[in-house]
C-alpha cells in the first residue's frame, strides 16, 4: 500500500523507505547519489528524514527485543548487570550499558520500571539474541528472578516529530502534556480502543513516544495513528531515515560505535555510569580506567565536502599515520553535512582537528566537530 522497500536484518524484514513518499521530495529536495554511494539508498530516505524533523513520522519498531525481568531479586540482578542506577521510581525509563569484567560494553539498552519487582528491557532486534543470552547466563540460581522474552507477543510503533504530541492527543483521552508525561517516563494509556504502554524516549532526537501493544493490535494501532495524522502531514518513515536521524543526534549503535573493546568513558557514555550505586559487573575495571585516563574517544567528523558520503569502516588518517576507522557514517539531512564517527587518539580528538578519511583509494579531508550536531541542548526532546 505504501510501497515499502524491505531489507533484511537478523531475520527481520524492515522497510528501508516507502515509495509512496516520493511526493515528499517536492517539499524536501534531496541531491541524488551515484555509484557505490547510491547502493541500497533512495532520495526518499532524505525526504522522510526531513519530514520527521519538520512535522511527524511513524516508525515500525517491532523488531526491537523486549524482555521482562520480574521477581523479588529483579532489582538486585539489574543493579549488578548494568552501569546505571536501576533503583528509580516506578514509571521511570533509564538508559544504561551492560559491561564485561574489563569494562567493555556488552550491550546498551533501556530499562523501564513497571513495578517494584517488574522491569522492561528494550534492546535492538539485531543484538537481541546475544543480549538475551548474556542476561540468561547471569541469572541467579535461587529462582528469585524470572526473565521472559515477550518480543513475539508485543509490537512497537515510534511516533516522533514536532507534531507528535498534537497527533497522539487526537486519539488518546490521556493527558500527554510535558507536565503530565515528562521525558524518560512511561505510562499505560489508551489510543483509540487499544491499551498501550507509552514510553517517552527517542532514538531520533525528537519529541515523541514508543508505543507498545499486543501484536494482534498492531495493525489497528498503525491505522488509528495514520488516519489521525493525515491532517498533520504524518509520514511513514523507514529504517534508512531512522539511521541518519540517530547519527545526526549522535546516538550510538552497538556493533558499530560501541562494543566490548570500548568502555563507556571512551564511547562518550559516562553519563550512564553510576559508580556510587555500589558494585556492578565491570565497575573495578572502570575505576582503574578512570584513574589511568582514557587514550582514545569516539569523535564526530564532518567531511569538508558534503557531496561525499562514506559508508563505514574506512581508515582515518593523519598523513601516513593510521588513527582509527569510521564506525558509522551517513548524510545529515537537517544539518546539511556528511558525517562520520570514529575513535581517535586524544591528541587528535579536539574539535577543529583536521584528519583525512580514505574512501576507495582517495582521501577526503574531514574535521573533528563538537557533538551532537543536532539539538545539543535537547530542547526538542524535552518540550
pTM score, whole prediction = 0.97
- pLDDT for 83-141, tens place per residue? 999 999 999 999 999 999 999 999 999 999 999 999 999 999 999 999 999 999 999 99
- The answer to whether residue 52 is domain-embedded is yes
Complete DSSP assignment for 101-166:
TTS-EEEEEEEEEEETTEEEEEE-TTTHHHHHHHHHHT--TTS--EEEE-GGGEEEEEEESTTHHH
CATH number for the domain that contains residue 12: 3.30.1360.120
- pLDDT for 245-254, tens place per residue? 999 999 999 9
Mean pLDDT value of segment 358-365: 96
**Number of structural domains the chain divides into:** 1
Check residue 35 and give its pLDDT.
83
Tell me the backbone φ, ψ of residue 177, rounded to 5 degrees: -65, 160
Check residue 37 and give its pLDDT.
84
Complete DSSP assignment for 226-260:
HHHHTTTT-EE--HHHHHHHHHHHT---BTTTB-T
- The answer to whether residue 185 is domain-embedded is yes
- The answer to whether residue 108 is domain-embedded is no
- The answer to whether residue 188 is domain-embedded is yes
- The answer to whether residue 217 is domain-embedded is yes
**pLDDT above 90 for 222:** yes
- The answer to whether residue 9 is domain-embedded is yes
Tell me the backbone φ, ψ of residue 165, rounded to 5 degrees: -65, -45
> How much of the chain exceeds pLDDT 70, in percent?
100
User: Is 266 assigned to a binding site?
Assistant: no
**Residue 361: band (very low, low, confident or very high) from pLDDT cuts 50, 70, 90:** very high
Expressed as residue numbers, the domain containing 231 is 4-63+154-247
Instruction: Name the residue among 265, 325, 257 with its Cα closest to residue 294.
Output: 265
Q: Measured between alpha carbons, how far is 140 from 290 in angstroms, rounded to an integer?
A: 29
**pLDDT above 90 for 195:** yes
The 3-state DSSP class for residue 31 equals coil
Mean pLDDT of the chain: 98
How far does the chain reach from its first CA to its final CA, in angstroms?
Answer: 34
The 3-state DSSP class for residue 206 equals coil
The C-alpha cell that represents 241 in the structure block: 531515515
- pLDDT for 154-170, tens place per residue? 999 999 999 999 999 99
Instruction: Name the residue among 153, 218, 216, 152 with its Cα closest to residue 191.
Output: 218
- The answer to whether residue 284 is domain-embedded is no
- The answer to whether residue 118 is domain-embedded is no
**Residue 198: band (very low, low, confident or very high) from pLDDT cuts 50, 70, 90:** very high
C-alpha separations of 196 from 155, 191, 210, 287, 340 in Å: 10, 7, 10, 41, 36
Check residue 34 and give its pLDDT.
84
- pLDDT for 272-323, tens place per residue? 999 999 999 999 999 999 999 999 999 999 999 999 999 999 999 999 999 9
Eight-state DSSP code of residue 92: B
- pLDDT for 11-50, tens place per residue? 889 999 999 999 999 999 999 998 888 888 999 999 999 9
Q: Measured between alpha carbons, how far is 69 from 136 in angstroms, rounded to an integer?
A: 11
Amino acid at each position: 500500500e505504501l510501497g515499502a522497500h524491505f531489507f533484511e536484518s537478523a531475520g527481520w524484514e524492515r522497510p528501508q523507505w516507502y515509495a509512496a513518499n516520493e511526493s515528499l521530495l517536492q517539499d524536501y529536495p534531496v541531491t541524488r547519489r551515484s555509484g557505490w554511494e547510491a547502493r541500497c539508498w533512495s532520495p526518499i530516505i532524505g525526504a522522510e528524514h526531513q519530514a520527521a524533523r519538520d512535522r511527524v513520522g511513524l516508525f515500525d519498531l517491532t523488531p526491537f527485543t523486549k524482555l521482562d525481568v520480574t521477581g523479588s531479586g529483579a532489582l538486585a540482578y539489574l543493579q549488578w548487570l548494568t552501569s546505571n542506577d536501576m533503583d528509580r521510581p516506578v514509571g521511570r525509563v533509564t538508559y544504561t550499558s551492560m559491561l564485561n569484567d574489563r569494562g567493555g560494553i556488552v550491550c546498551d539498552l533501556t530499562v523501564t520500571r513497571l513495578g517494584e519487582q517488574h522491569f522492561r528491557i528494550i534492546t535492538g532486534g539485531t543484538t537481541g539474541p546475544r543480549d538475551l543470552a548474556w542476561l540468561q547466563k547471569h541469572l541467579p540460581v535461587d529462582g528469585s528472578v524470572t526473565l521472559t522474552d515477550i518480543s513475539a507477543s508485543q509490537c512497537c510503533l515510534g511516533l516522533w516529530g514536532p507534531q507528535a504530541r498534537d497527533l497522539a492527543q487526537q486519539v488518546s483521552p490521556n493527558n500527554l502534556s510535558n507536565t503530565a508525561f515528562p521525558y524518560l517516563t512511561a505510562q499505560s494509556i489508551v489510543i483509540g480502543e487499544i491499551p498501550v504502554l507509552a514510553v517517552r524516549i527517542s532514538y531520533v532526537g525528537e519529541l515523541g513516544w514508543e508505543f507498545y501493544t499486543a501484536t494482534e493490535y498492531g495493525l489497528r494501532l498503525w491505522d488509528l495513528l495514520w488516519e489521525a495524522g493525515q491532517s498533520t502531514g504524518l509520514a511513514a518513515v523507514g529504517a534508512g531515515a531512522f539511521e541518519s536521524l540517530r547519527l545526526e543526534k549522535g546516538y550510538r549503535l552497538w556493533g558499530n560505535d560501541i562494543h566490548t573493546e570500548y568502555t563507556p568513558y571512551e564511547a562518550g557514555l559516562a553519563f550512564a555510569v553510576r559508580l556510587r550505586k555500589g558494585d556492578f559487573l565491570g565497575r573495578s575495571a572502570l575505576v582503574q580506567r578512570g584513574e589511568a585516563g582514557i587514550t582514545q574517544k569516539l569523535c564526530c567528523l564532518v567531511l569538508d565536502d558534503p557531496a561525499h558520503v562514506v559508508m563505514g569502516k574506512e581508515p582515518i588518517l593523519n598523513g601516513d599515520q593510521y588513527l582509527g576507522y569510521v564506525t558509522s557514517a551517513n548524510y545529515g539531512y537537517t544539518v546539511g553535512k556528511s558525517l562520520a564517527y570514529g575513535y581517535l587518539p586524544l591528541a587528535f580528538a579536539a574539535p577543529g582537528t583536521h584528519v583525512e578519511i580514505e574512501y576507495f583509494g582517495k582521501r577526503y579531508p574531514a574535521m573533528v566537530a563538537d557533538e551532537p550536531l543536532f539539538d545539543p541542548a535537547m530542547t526538542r526532546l524535552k518540550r
